[in-house]
Every structure is written in C-alpha cells, then in structure tokens.
C-alpha cells in the first residue's frame, strides 16, 4: 500500500488518480483543511492532522505501508512571511512526525514535495539541482528543512527519499474530473481564469519593475498531470532499487512573465481579462525557471503538456465546468 498525505489536494489528487489508474492500493491521509473529499474520486481516506503523532502512528498500524508520497503542506508564499510559526508546524513538524512513524514501522521509501522556492534568487537560469539553495521566503525554508530531514533520516535509518522540486504547478486533469480549487485562491492562473469567468473584476499584477524584459515576474509552469507522473517514476525508481539522486527539479525549462500569462489566457479563453499593476508581493524572486534534464535522463521523465497554452486550456475547461470549484465551501467550515 502507498500512503499519500495531502492526497485530497491539488497535486495529491491528480497523483492518487494516476496511482489508482494503474492498480495501486492507496490510502490517503488528509485533514481536508484545504483538500476536497470529492477530489479523492472514491480513494480511501483516513482523515486527520499530521501534527498529531497518535494519528500519524495509526496510519501505519495494521497495514503494510510500502511507500509514502508526502504532499500535505501549506503552500502560500505570502502567508508564510507573516505566519512563520504556522508554516514550521505545518510543513516541518508534520514531516518529522511522519518520518519517525516510518522509522518505527519500517517503511523505507518516501517521495517529498519540495519546491523551487528552496533556491531563493538563483544565480543562473535555468536552475539545476546543483544551484545553491538560499530560500528568501518562509515557505521555501520549510521545504529546505524538509529535504535536510530526509537526508538525515536516510543516513541514520535507511529511509530512501526523492525530493521533487516543483516549479509552478498548473493546469487540470484532461478528463475534467479534477482541477485546482484553493480557498482563498492566491495562485496566478486560477485567479486569471476566475477573472475570465467574470467571478473577479480584475487581476492584480504584483510588480512591474522587476529586472525582467516586461518588468513582471517570470515563472516556469508545469502541467499537473506531468507532475503526477513524475511521482510515479520516483516511486518506481526507488522500488526497483535504482540509484537515484536526492532531488530532481520539475519544470519545463521555459519561463513566462505574469503579463505573458495574462495575455495567453486572453487568447485561450477569448475573454477580456482586466489587469492592473499592484505593488510587489514580499518574497517573490524575479525569475524562476527550472531544468528537468536530470529527471529526464535518470528516471525517463517526459512532459506530455509542456506548452503554456495546453496548461491554460485544461485549466480553463475545469474552471468553466466548475465555476465554484468542488462546491464544498459550505461544508468545509473554518478548518
């Protein structure tokens, strides 16, 4: 059995779907604070909070957990800057509990959601895994601490791990069953598409005085289905006992500015998307573009949807069909 924490979230749910599609036995651990029960598509759920050690231990009791994919985390750069304590508890304490429970249960394999935010302001583009990791926001720091914990638990207890350093996850399940639904939504692409739908008056562009060609921040967007596939490859490589690196980047090697994303979304949706320039958001590096060359070479990764247009198209299909996301706002309460 594969334990998927955060399996009801955006990246987790797409990965759970891919795992089950190939017949894996999956258990999802999620507190549903940000994830959605509907996104499980019927996968079994053990609801709880990974900060609670008794709950974490219970996940391993009476089951043979062969491997863990750890998505559960908080992922808002902006909030992480004002609530560092919360971010350390959510992202560091939870992983520590998980690793101690794995150690005690004898589970030796984990795939970890790390982030390009661990690089901070990079010296070179595209970013390779060898680039120094100096995060400039708390979210990135918590992910870097996670990588270090995995390394230390690997050395001491033989737990094998692969950290996947994602660039910007975007897009939706091409079958239309799953998509992106955060509350509050802070990510660029869903906000732009909500503006296209008329659910938002306009989009704010956070800063147009960055040292980039059009002055807006550049990011590397990667399709959610490609990200999900990379987790399966990482899991398989460890299962097969292949030699693997400690970490792999997952980007498309292609950067798009915020202004370019808005412009491409106007084309894809055929709708006007009003945009206005707003102040910079603290913690945003000007340019993040990643090279996936290592995972391509070592694990055979290949992106199915590398183009921004395709990413936006699948996301647009989801947003049009689900203007209120999974529609569970009322039942979710204050979690």
CB of 41 to ligand UDP, least distance (A): 25
Q: Where are the alpha helices (DSSP H) in 165-307?
A: 188-196, 224-239, 258-269, 293-299
CB of 57 to ligand UDP, least distance (A): 32
CB nearer to ligand UDP: give 154 or 286: 286
**By the 8 A CB rule, do 316 and 193 touch?**
yes
CB nearer to ligand UDP: give 10 or 305: 10
Output the six-digit token pair for 45.
């759920």
List phi, psi (to 5°) of 70: -105, 100
Q: Is 221 a catalytic residue?
A: no
CB of 183 to ligand UDP, least distance (A): 14
* Interacting residue ranges for ligand UDP, rule: CB under 6 A: 77, 168, 186-188, 191, 203-206, 217, 219, 258, 281, 284
CB nearer to ligand UDP: give 107 or 249: 249
CB of 147 to ligand UDP, least distance (A): 17
**By the 8 A CB rule, do 147 and 231 touch?**
no
Catalytic residue among 139, 166, 301, 326: 139
State CA 204 to chain mean position distance.
23
Whether residue 178 is preceded by a cis peptide bond, meaning omega within 30 degrees of 0, is no
CB nearer to ligand UDP: give 4 or 77: 77
Q: Which position's Cβ is nearest ligand UDP?
A: 217
Instruction: Give the span between the Cα atoms of 106 and 329, in whole angstroms.
Output: 38
**By the 8 A CB rule, do 1 and 59 touch?**
no
Other Cβ atoms closer than 10 A to 78: 15
Catalytic residue list: 139
């Amino acid at each position: 059995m594969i334990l998927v924490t955060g399996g009801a979230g955006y990246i987790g749910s797409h990965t759970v779907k891919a795992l089950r599609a190939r017949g894996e036995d999956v258990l999802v651990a999620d507190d549903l604070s940000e994830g959605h029960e509907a996104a499980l598509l019927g996968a079994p759920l053990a609801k709880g909070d990974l900060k609670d050690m008794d709950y974490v231990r219970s996940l391993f009791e009476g089951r043979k957990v062969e491997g863990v994919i750890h998505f559960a985390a908080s992922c808002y750069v902006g909030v992480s800057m004002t609530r560092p304590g919360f971010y350390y508890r959510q992202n560091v304490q939870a992983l520590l509990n998980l690793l101690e429970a794995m150690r005690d249960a004898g589970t030796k394999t984990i795939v970890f959601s790390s982030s390009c935010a661990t690089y901070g302001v990079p010296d070179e583009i595209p970013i390779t895994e060898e680039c120094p990791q100096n995060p400039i926001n708390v979210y990135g720091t918590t992910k870097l601490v996670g990588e270090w914990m995995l390394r230390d638990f690997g050395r001491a207890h033989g737990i094998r791990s692969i950290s996947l350093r994602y660039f910007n996850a975007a897009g939706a399940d091409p079958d239309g069953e799953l998509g992106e639904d955060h509350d509050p939504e802070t990510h660029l692409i869903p906000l732009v598409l909500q503006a296209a739908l008329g659910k938002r008056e306009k989009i704010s562009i956070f800063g147009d005085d960055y040292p980039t060609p059009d002055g807006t921040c550049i990011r590397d967007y990667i399709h959610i289905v490609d990200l999900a596939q990379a987790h399966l490859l990482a899991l398989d490589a460890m299962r097969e006992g292949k030699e693997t690196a400690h970490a792999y980047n997952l980007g498309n090697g292609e950067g798009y500015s915020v202004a370019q994303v808005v412009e491409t979304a106007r084309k894809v949706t055929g709708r006007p998307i009003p945009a206005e320039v707003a102040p910079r958001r603290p913690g945003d590096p000007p340019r993040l573009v990643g090279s996936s060359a290592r995972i391509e070479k070592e694990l055979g990764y290949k992106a199915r949807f590398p183009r921004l247009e395709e990413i936006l198209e699948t996301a647009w299909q989801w947003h049009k069909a689900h203007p209120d996301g999974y529609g569970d706002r009322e039942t979710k309460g204050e979690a």
